Amino acid sequence: MTYRPLIVGNWKMNGTRAMLAEARAIDRGAARHPGVRVAVAPPFTLIQSMAENAETMTVGGQDCHAAAGGAYTGDVAAAMLADAGGTFVILGHSERRAMHAETNEQVRAKAEAALTAGLEVIICVGETEAQRDAGEAEAVVCAQLDGSLPGGEGVAARITVAYEPVWAIGTGRVPSVADVGTMHRAIRARLVQMFGAEGAGISILYGGSVNAANASELLAAEEVGGALIGGASLQAESFLAIVLAASGASDE
């Protein structure tokens, strides 16, 4: 099977139109690495412009509402993301779970809405430092998978899981390659339990302080199908260095 790692930039609440030049540079760089799937999730306000200008990379959102529309001030529906040119949405990021008290049930409902709107879905899971110290990391992550992933026919082909230990996000700290491999193996086993043979094909990304220096070894860890990048995705140079590292792991 052709292996095409997926490298996703999560711009979080960063970026005004001045950043569109950076996005274009990322897109041009992505064209040089056909063996890597490159995607960026900018703030909602930039999705349409970025999607209109993108030739190679895909563009998506960082959240959506579970409802198709209605009286939900400040929220954005999945169909609106698709209408703006988005092709995917990141759901259940730990910052949403922590700062907006998102539950597994809500993440699952959002994922179902996103699939209905024709989007691909990247669902984030990951333990806190206290949970890891207590030896609960795998149990926490498996419970998040059980609660947040939608089920049903053909769904496995349209979802991606991102394992992001909360303590590694934006901190410069990363788990050992062995710990990443152990967790990704546990996630794979759970996905196969949940989806049968189709679960074997779901990409599992690693996220949390990935940068140009550590990308190669993290991407080489067992069952790692790509990476979700925060800080290092904001500059084309640092993001493309990670894309380059991923191209070494692909069949390119």
Residue with smaller CB distance to ligand PGA, 69 or 170:
170
3-state secondary structure of 48: helix
Residue nearest ligand PGA (C-beta atom): 230
210 near ligand PGA, rule: CB under 6 A: yes
- Here the tokens at position 137 are 């990391």
Residue 112 falls in the annotated catalytic set: no
Closest CA to 203 of 120, 106, 138, 105: 120
Count of residues of this chain found to bind ligand PGA when the rule CB under 6 A is applied:
13
Of the listed pieces 16-24, 77-85, 196-204, 227-235, which binds ligand PGA according to CB under 6 A? 227-235
Least Å distance, CB 167 to ligand PGA, is 10
Site stretch for ligand PGA (CB under 6 A), options 59-67, 105-113, 212-220, 226-234: 226-234
- For residue 126, which of 156, 158, 171 has the smallest C-alpha distance? 171
Helices (H), 1-43: 20-31
Binding residue for ligand PGA, selected from 62, 166, 231, 239, defined by CB under 6 A: 231
Is 100 catalytic? The answer is: no
Closest distance between ligand PGA and the C-beta of residue 4, in Å?
20
Asked if residue 125 binds ligand PGA (CB under 6 A), the reply is no
Give 112's contacts (C-beta < 8 A, 6+ positions apart): 66, 150
**61 class by beta-carbon count within 10 Å (0-12 exposed, 13-18 middle, 19+ buried):** buried
By CB under 6 A, name the one of 62, 148, 160, 209 that touches ligand PGA.
Answer: 209
Q: Note whether 62 binds ligand PGA by CB under 6 A.
A: no
**Distance (Å) of CA 85 to CA 35, 48, 52, 178, 242:** 23, 6, 7, 38, 25
Give contact residues for ligand PGA (rule: CB under 6 A).
10, 164, 169-170, 207-210, 228-232
Active site residues: 93, 164
